[in-house]
Amino acid sequence: MRVTDLIERKRDGGALTREEWAGLMRCYAAGDIPDYQMAAMAMAVYFRGMEDAETEGLTAAMLESGDRLSLAHLGRPRVDKHSTGGVGDKVSLVLAPLVAACGVAVPMMSGRALGHTGGTLDKLEAIPGFRTDLPRDRAVAQLERLGAVLIGQTDEIAPADKRLYALRGATATVPAIPLIAASIMSKKLAEDLTGLVLDVTTGAGAFLTRLEDSLALARTMIALGERRGCRTVALLTDMNAPLGVACGNAVEVAESIALLCGEGPADVREVTLALATEMLLVAGLTTDATAARARAERAIDSGDALEMFGRIVVAQGGPAGLVEDPAAHLASAPVRRVLAADRDGIVQRVEPRAVGSAIITLGGGRSRTTDVVDPAVGVLVHRRPGARVTAGEPLLTILARDEAGAGAAAAELASAVSLADAPPPLRPLISHRVTAAGVEELPVTVAH
């Protein structure tokens, strides 16, 4: 079967068989299918969608395009978390050491900046010397020794996703439920996990902006995980505003270290603790959510999670002393420009896509797969929706390499923060919990 025939069939609304997806992804991973044909296929899927059996087939094909970790010998639960993407989302950097400090093995395999969203790997690589491309043997040895490793998909593990993920980012084909589900689950299922917690973001800054699509994505990924014996749970989290204050790479590392010290913005801390609670539950450490959360909080308060992060950094090539003095090691931007409130009022919205797009303009993200990321640049979001501000108060700070970059970002961010006289509608930060048993609407704990 020719590739053009398969593209044509998908374009016209037909389905590919499991064998056809397997052949297609095998050839793509081997470099035998050019990007332009795969881009056409991704666009066809974007418009036509996939049947459940196709999503299963594509996930299996991407999983089987590489090797899998084999971790049963660790003798303890192995749990990871993955986010469907957002702006200012540095949760993974805090969560992996935190959950590992509680005694769970965390083989965390993350992605790079995609579209307007940031990527955990780019953030980690803002730490001088930090290697996210560890060979498999070294990653496993680190897991045995420390209980956590933070790596990217390599040429060995889910290589088809590695290529397709970058291609989708450059061809506006990210927001398709089957493609997101297969991308995430192929990486995660290669990790030999006993449990997986998904942070499915929803709202203006997420790839899927509508709640019903985010719920459908959560259900699709849970079905893929559970079918392979991996207990999978999802929390739906709000991405109508950037998460936390720091958006960028080095600044998000610094904010993560603050969170591990028990400081930092309340919204990131809440999402992190909620996900940590779920990870400890799927790990089977306890069946009581209150006890799981208390365990996670203790790991921060005792300094164990921070110490674990420092050990991971050193094990992966970063500097000793990062957690004691982040500013001495992390790049900082030479130019800072403050955007201030032009009136008294209450913040209605902070547009996450405008912030994400400004970061790309500044050089902190990618618009082409080959772009090199500048770790120092970013945007600080000083006021969240619901905050009362007075005229002249800083709303955003642009961190730029030069004045031209600051000017371009300022133009993009000119209307990113809107003010009004009345408070905005309340939105729960974490709205739903989804498991194989169904969807539970959560009581509002933190909202904006």
- Positions annotated as catalytic residues are 82, 161, 168, 183, 187
Pick one of 84, 92, 249, 256: the residue that binds ligand URA (CB under 6 A): 84
Shortest distance in whole angstroms from residue 323 CB to ligand URA: 27
- For residue 111, the minimal CB distance to ligand URA (Å) is 4
Nearer to ligand URA, 199 or 255 (CB): 199
The answer to the question of residue 184 lying near ligand URA (CB under 6 A) is yes
How many Å apart are CA 250 and CA 394, to the nearest integer? Answer: 21
Segment interacting with ligand URA (CB under 6 A) among 180-188, 260-268, 401-409, 420-428: 180-188
**Can residue 165 be called a binding residue for ligand URA (CB under 6 A)?**
yes
Nearer to ligand URA, 184 or 306 (CB): 184
Smallest gap from residue 114 Cβ to ligand URA (A): 6
Strands laid side by side in the 438-441 sheet: 79-83, 195-202, 231-238, 430-435, 438-441
Residue whose CB is nearest to ligand URA in the complex, by number: 183
Query: With the C-alpha atoms ordered 91, 96, 98, 104, is the resulting torsion angle positive or negative?
Result: positive
The CB-of-419 to ligand URA minimum distance in angstroms stands at: 32
Q: Which of 92, 352, 95, 348 is nearest to 239 (CA)?
A: 352
Question: What is the C-alpha separation between 80 and 375, in angstroms, rounded?
Answer: 25
Q: How far is the CB of 175 from ligand URA (least distance, A)?
A: 9
Name the one range near ligand URA by CB under 6 A: 57-65, 176-184, 386-394, 418-426: 176-184
Tokens of 357: 């797009």
Of 85, 86, 356, 378, the residue at the interface with ligand URA (CB under 6 A) is 85
Q: Which stretch binds ligand URA (CB under 6 A): 36-44, 174-182, 211-219, 259-267?
A: 174-182
111 interacts with ligand URA by CB under 6 A = yes
Q: Does 180 bind ligand URA (CB under 6 A)?
A: yes
Closer residue to ligand URA in complex, CB, 111/405: 111
61, amino acid identity: A
Nearer to ligand URA, 174 or 333 (CB): 174
Which residue, 110 or 240, is less far from ligand URA as judged by CB? Answer: 110
Interface ranges with ligand URA (CB under 6 A)? 84-85, 111, 114, 165, 174, 179-180, 183-184
